[in-house]
Structure formats: structure tokens, C-alpha cells
Amino acid sequence: MYFLNTDEDTKKILQQYNHCRVKIYTFNQSRINKKSLLPVAKDVSYSGENTEAWYPPGHGDIYSSFYNFGLLDILIGEGKEYIFVSNIDNLGAMVDLYILNHLMNPSNGKHCEFVTEVTNKIRADVKSSTLTQYEGKMRLLEIAQVPKAHVDEFKSVSKFKIFNTNNLWISLAAVKSLQEQNAIYMEIIVNLKTLDGGLNVIQLETAVGAAIKSFENSLGINVPRRHFLPVKITSDLLLVIIFKKKIGKA
């Protein structure tokens, strides 16, 4: 999935790979004016650039997108049972055959519908989401959902020792069943932003991992740190290259 700000650039890059069969679907979601509670793109009181009215709505839309665009039925029709989902900037994400084997041949006989890879937290990861358990269900906890009074506690590397890498393994059959029942529940993450010109807006997002509580026998699997090598800026890419070279020599 790609969004307004990166859609055209992405299509230009992908033209270099016309020999590959890649299908791309785009969609937009509007910000909300904090004062009027109207979508900025529809609010006549706002005279800013239209492109500022749109933003990525988080990756929680993947379930409805797969279902509504027919991709879910296509993949199931091809005999596929699980999808592996990861952030595009995580160069460490990989298809771990040990995890796949566990999904296909569970030792306890209970097939897991949702797995999220977690890894040990260091101080650079204090704002990353973590897993909690509530009412017998695994849940994803994002820092944006934590009350200010408990943020320091959330950031503690001694209390919350692992964090979510957002490398996910998800049962396609389970997604289809839950979508048909409208039973995938994800908390709405409220991000307060300020546009150029000073307009305060409300940005609503959902996270793909937050759906973990909607699936049966969900679990988190602690994986090596090399599964999580995100690149946010150019210098991060250099660190990834150095890290991979060290791994290769080990």
C-alpha cells in the first residue's frame, strides 16, 4: 500500500521493474480539523495546500484493503495460508522458516492465527510498541495510547524488556472469516499535529499489530535483533551494512 505523498515517486521507481508482476493499490485518508471536527480537505475554513489535508492512516488498513480489493480471495485461491507482513523500512525483516514450520506444524496441536516477532529492547527502542495481556488476550500497546503519567514507566527497559518489530505472520483464512464478521478490532491512535500556518489537526491511525487480540492463539516470538534493522535516514543504512558484515563474519 502506498499513499499520496509517495505514490507518484513509487510508481516511477517501479517502472524499472516492469518485468516483475507487482500490483499496487493506493488510498487516502483525511486529517480532521481539531476545532471544527471536519475533514481538512472538506473544511472551507482552511485555505492551506490540499496535499496537507491527507496523510497515511497507519498500516491497520491492510486487512480491509486485502478483503475489499479481492486480494485475499486471490491468495487463498492460490493455496496460500499465511502472509508475512513487515515495515518497508525494516531491512532485517526475513521469512524465518522456523516460524513458518511452527505455524504449519504446531507442537501443541493448536494452530496459531497471528504471530508477531518481538526482540529485546534497548534504549533506542523506548518509544516502540510492546505486548501486554488483558482479559486472556494478547494486545499491542503503543506509546500514543499511554497516559502521560505512565510514559516513563512504558519507556523502562527493565519493566518492558521486549518490543514489537512489526514483523507479522497472519492466517489468511482467519482474516477472511473476521472480515466477513466485521470482527477485527483495532484501537484508534490519536495523534495531534500542527500544519503549516498553525492549524491544529487530529490525525487518526490504526496499527496492523493491534488486531492481534482479534485472532485465536496469538503469540509473540522473541527473535534475534538482526530481524529488526530499520532505516529512517541515510546514516542508518550505513549502520545496517556494517551490522550485516559483522553477522556474516560471525
Asked if residues 66 and 76 have their Cβ atoms less than 8 Å apart, the reply is no
Catalytic residue among 110, 232, 244, 246: 232
* Kind and range of the H or E run holding 115: strand 114-120
Q: Which amino acid is at 103?
A: L
CA atoms within 13 A on the CB side of 123: 0
In sequence order, the 6+-apart residues with CB closer than 8 A to the CB of 29 are 54, 55, 56, 57, 61, 204
Give yes or no: 193 in active site. no
d(CA 78, CA 243): 37
- Return d(Cα 141, Cα 144) in angstroms, integer: 8
Please give the grid coordinates belonging to residue 108. Answer: 501443541
Give the Cα separation of 50 and 154 in Å (integer): 37
**Size of the chain, expressed as the number of residues it contains:** 250
Residue type for position 173: A
89: left (phi over 0), alpha (psi -120 to 50) or beta: alpha
Known catalytic residues are 232
